[in-house]
């Protein structure tokens, strides 16, 4: 990793070196309604490495589950297994 990239990672602990060779947010993404499931005591200091999006956004785990974050994040729209139906209009 280049020193400048390492400096950025040191400054922002959410950044990771992605498989593409770029720096990015490697956390899994969920809708904020799932936050309570992650706010339970684990009996240890567990970093669950997740981020949450607000009510204006839709998290579709059917589409792009293999991509960074494990889901496609859209501005609203239905949650469908068919990528064509999940595309923003």
Tens-digit pLDDT profile for the chain (89 aa)?
Answer: 788 888 888 888 888 887 778 888 878 888 888 888 887 776 666 667 888 988 888 888 887 777 777 788 888 766 777 656 555 54
pLDDT, residue 61, reads 83
Q: What domain range is 28 assigned to?
A: 3-86
Q: Is the dihedral of CA 56, 59, 63, 68 positive or negative?
A: positive
The total of structural domains in the chain comes to: 1
- For residue 63, which phi and psi values (nearest 5 degrees)? -110, 135
Instruction: Check: CB of residue 72 under 8 Å from CB of residue 63.
Output: yes
């Amino acid at each position: 990793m280049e020193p400048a990239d390492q400096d950025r990672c040191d400054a922002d602990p959410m950044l990771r070196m992605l498989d593409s060779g770029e720096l990015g947010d490697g956390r899994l993404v969920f809708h904020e309604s799932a936050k309570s499931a992650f706010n339970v005591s684990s009996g240890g200091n567990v970093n669950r490495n997740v981020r949450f999006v607000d009510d204006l956004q839709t998290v579709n785990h059917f589409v792009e589950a293999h991509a960074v974050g494990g889901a496609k994040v859209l501005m609203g729209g239905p949650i469908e297994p068919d990528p064509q139906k999940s595309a923003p209009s």
